[in-house]
Amino acid sequence: MFGDYGEKINLSSYSYLGLIGHPDIDDAVRRSTASHSTGSHGVRLLSGTNDLHSRLEDRLANFKKSQDCVTFTSGYAANLSIIAGLVRPRDYVIGDKLNHASIVDGCKLSGAGFFRFNHNDPDHLHHRLRQLPVDANVLVVCDGVFSMDGDILNLPKISEVCKENGALLMVDEAHSLGVIGEKGTGIEEHFDLPPDAVDIKMGTLSKTIPSNGGYACASSEIVEFLKHQGRGFIFSAAMTPQSAAAAIAALDVIECEPERVGQLHENAELMRMLLNRAGIDTLQSETAILPAFCGADQRAWFLAKYCIDNGVFVQGIPYPVVSRNSARLRCTVTSEHSSDDIHLAASVIAEAFRKIA
């Protein structure tokens, strides 16, 4: 990481596979500018759709082994549009207690009866579902990898409970696409589950994929429905040709360079091992998001400042982003970190924790 602050090891990037600056992706963007210029002429349903949007949606559907796909201009817009498009005031939506704010906002906006279940607890979800009228339309929404804790949704059990109770399941793969599964295709691959374990596979194009946008991969019926009921699709301009071209090229790179995913897994394991060996609690994290738990908000401020002053760019996460007294440093590892970077960063973090002991 460069700039006015000097060179630092960046432990705050979502570019999990280091694809920002990949020559093939930059080249695809240059070609899209030559062929399509900038801008999109308007909303998708009127004049906004071009061949890059259609190719991106086919590519995502293929990557996620879904029938079809619809894209939005951001992950945030996708969550609002998908959730508020699928459920209405007479329906119900149930979410994990640690879901991302964009999911919570979508649930509130929908006007549907909104309940939460205890974090990653299929039995509590089952209990919640049993409390609803038998003929209700119910959507269950969860993060695939929880963004502040780095733990993975118990998809085998959550999917089973949803099927048993006739609820649709939507999973937000913002932090699992490109990150989990041997090939980086996400949560079904990680658990070796069939593609229909999740009904609506939502994700962003702003993290592993170095672009902007969000998507829903689902059955053709659901995708068609969202194209006519998802307000962020209907009333907001199409994503730029550059964003679409970058995302298509990034999916190609993920498939052609699987070693990046393997390197990411190795780096995350090394960082976890070094932090744990220094006595730092990384909660239930199993992924590239590693919380270094410290409790009080003031401790997180101190730790972050110490790390930044000593060459490691990492952020403290306080209440209300996480619950009271569960502040943490939130470290994200990428495939681009060298083993030396990780050892050095872990030793600075460990030194910061010793200062507050």
Active-site residue set: 147, 175, 207
The residue ranges of DSSP E strands in the chain, in sequence order, are 9-10, 68-72, 92-96, 113-117, 138-143, 168-172, 200-204, 214-218, 289-295, 312-313, 315-317, 327-332
Residue 100 in the binding site for ligand PMP (CB under 6 A): yes
The mark string for 210-229 relative to ligand PMP (x by CB under 6 A, - otherwise) is ----x---------------
Shortest distance, position 152 Cβ to ligand PMP, whole Å = 13
The mark string for 135-164 relative to ligand PMP (x by CB under 6 A, - otherwise) is --------x---x-----------------
CB 180 within 8 A of CB 145: yes
Question: Which residues in 177-186 are b (16+ Cβ under 10 Å) and which e?
Answer: bbbbbeebbb
CB 352 within 8 A of CB 302: yes
Residue 204 in the binding site for ligand PMP (CB under 6 A): yes
- Pick the closer one to ligand PMP by CB: 209 or 346: 209
Beta bridge pairs of residue 329: 292, 316
Shortest distance, position 109 Cβ to ligand PMP, whole Å = 14
Q: Which of 282, 287, 248, 273 is nearest to 339 (CA)?
A: 273
Distance of CA 67 to the CA centre of its chain: 21
Residue 232 in the binding site for ligand PMP (CB under 6 A): no
Residue 92 in the binding site for ligand PMP (CB under 6 A): no
Task: Tell me which H or E stretch contains 233.
Answer: helix 231-234
- Pick the closer one to ligand PMP by CB: 233 or 306: 233
Q: Which stretch binds ligand PMP (CB under 6 A): 73-81, 118-126, 128-136, 185-193?
A: 73-81
Residue 63 in the binding site for ligand PMP (CB under 6 A): no
Shortest distance, position 137 Cβ to ligand PMP, whole Å = 23
Among 81, 102, 159, 208, binds ligand PMP (CB under 6 A): 102
Name the residues that contact ligand PMP, by CB under 6 A. 74-76, 79, 100, 102, 143, 147, 172, 174-175, 204, 206, 214
